[in-house]
Amino acid sequence: AAAEKSGFRSFMDKEIHDQPQAVADTLLGRTDLQGRLVLDDLRIDESVLRSVDKIVVIACGTAAYAGHVAKYAIEHWCRIPVEVELAHEFRYRDPVVNEKTLVVAISQSGETMDTLMAVRHAREQGAKVLAIVNTHGSTIPRESDAVLYTHAGPEIAVASTKAFLSQITAAYLLGLYLAQLRGNKFPDEIAEIFEDLRQMPDKIQQVLDRAGRVREIARWMSDTSSVLFLGRHVGYPVALEGALKLKELAYIHAEGFAAGELKHGPIALIEPGQPVFVIVPSPRGRDSLHSKVVSNIQEIRARGARTLVVAEDGDEDVRPFADEVFYVPQAPVLLAPLLAVVPLQIFACELATARGLDVDQPRNLAKSVTVE
């Protein structure tokens, strides 16, 4: 088994480092000679995809956060309303779905029982189901109308890392494909975004190359008892995933919040020394989200929080209020989660390792949960 880890301490470490390749593989072979997107494996009628009037993403755990990122991208690119729901909640609440609903089931294993039951339930209501899955030959794609494979390669560590980045990437591809099919965007706009996507593996590699500092901080913080994560827009699911990784790997209390929600409750948790990760949106984004999140950092810092900030290269505004800044390369706003989540994965993995824990097989968890 040591050999399969190719020199890494754990499968998780290896899989975190596999991420540039995983994303590149998910993008591979998705365009034709004219640069148009082709999703060959989809096996679904184009007319169905053209008539869809709502998308519902169903998934569990990390896969659900990939769906959460997908919502921002697909709504922006395609103007189709997208709901994201935990599969086990969707299944038991009498959801409004019909023939015009596209249900997108996201699952690394393709075997998660909660997700499978939701797929069956959706199809019984007449919805078409498209599965975004990593494992070939698994049950969920077999029981779905269409499948988009993520090509991340086998993921051994129980907690998901490279499959997450591949799921987000596949969801972007689906969004762009729908935009192309439905004429929401000009072909050159789609080609441009696809080109931006193609640059992401190199940028993820840069984040990995700069990970020394986040590892050091993680080791220093190995006896911390609670960490909070704040993010906004696509940074919100990144915050949720950062918190989930820390719970799963290090068994530390961790919570992710939408940064805008801070003043509506979570700020009461801030006391001197409380570590808080803040995912800062690009200052190049439209709107004023960047300055709002910078104000959040200022607010929690004033109350004694230890601020650990993930920001884009060149963002100097965060420095005065940050105890640490982990810079990631610049990227289009919607694609930024592929970069921002990486320091958080490394933080959780390193901190858990420093605590002497088995990051590949955390207690009480299973890789595919085949019971409801």
Active site residues: 367
Contacts to ligand G6P from residues 53-72, by CB under 6 A: 60-63
Work out whether 166 is an interface residue with ligand G6P (CB under 6 A): no
Say how far apart CA 153 and CA 161 lie, in whole Å.
12
Alpha helices in 144-288 (DSSP H): 162-182, 187-198, 200-209, 212-220, 235-250
Angle between helices 212-220 and 337-354 (to 10 degrees): 40
Output the smallest distance, CB 173 to ligand G6P, in A. 18
Among residues 102, 138, 137, the alpha carbon closest in space to that of 123 is found at 102
Work out whether 345 is an interface residue with ligand G6P (CB under 6 A): no
Stretch that binds ligand G6P, among 90-98, 178-186, 226-234, 362-370 (CB under 6 A): 362-370
Among residues 355, 362, 263, 254, the alpha carbon closest in space to that of 308 is found at 254
Q: State the residue for tokens 């992710």.
A: 256
Work out whether 101 is an interface residue with ligand G6P (CB under 6 A): no
Say how far apart CA 311 and CA 167 lie, in whole Å.
23
Output the smallest distance, CB 360 to ligand G6P, in A. 12
Query: What is the total count of residues that contact ligand G6P (CB under 6 A)?
Result: 15
Work out whether 119 is an interface residue with ligand G6P (CB under 6 A): no
Instruction: Identify which of residues 121 and 290 has a Cβ nearer to ligand G6P in the complex.
Output: 121
Using an 8 Å Cβ cutoff, are 42 and 128 in contact? no
Instruction: Identify which of residues 162 and 306 has a Cβ nearer to ligand G6P in the complex.
Output: 162
**Token duo for residue 66:** 């990939």
Work out whether 129 is an interface residue with ligand G6P (CB under 6 A): no
Output the smallest distance, CB 345 to ligand G6P, in A. 12
Work out whether 107 is an interface residue with ligand G6P (CB under 6 A): yes
Output the smallest distance, CB 140 to ligand G6P, in A. 8
- DSSP for 336-347 reads THHHHHHHHHHH
Work out whether 250 is an interface residue with ligand G6P (CB under 6 A): no
DSSP letter at 367 equals S
Instruction: Identify which of residues 110 and 266 has a Cβ nearer to ligand G6P in the complex.
Output: 110
Say how far apart CA 182 and CA 197 lie, in whole Å.
21
Measured at CB, which residue is nearest to ligand G6P?
Answer: 61
Work out whether 368 is an interface residue with ligand G6P (CB under 6 A): yes
Say how far apart CA 240 and CA 69 lie, in whole Å.
11
| Torsion angles phi and psi, residue 339, rounded to 5 | -100, -45
Work out whether 150 is an interface residue with ligand G6P (CB under 6 A): no
Binding site for ligand G6P (CB under 6 A): 60-63, 107-109, 112, 115, 158-160, 365, 368-369
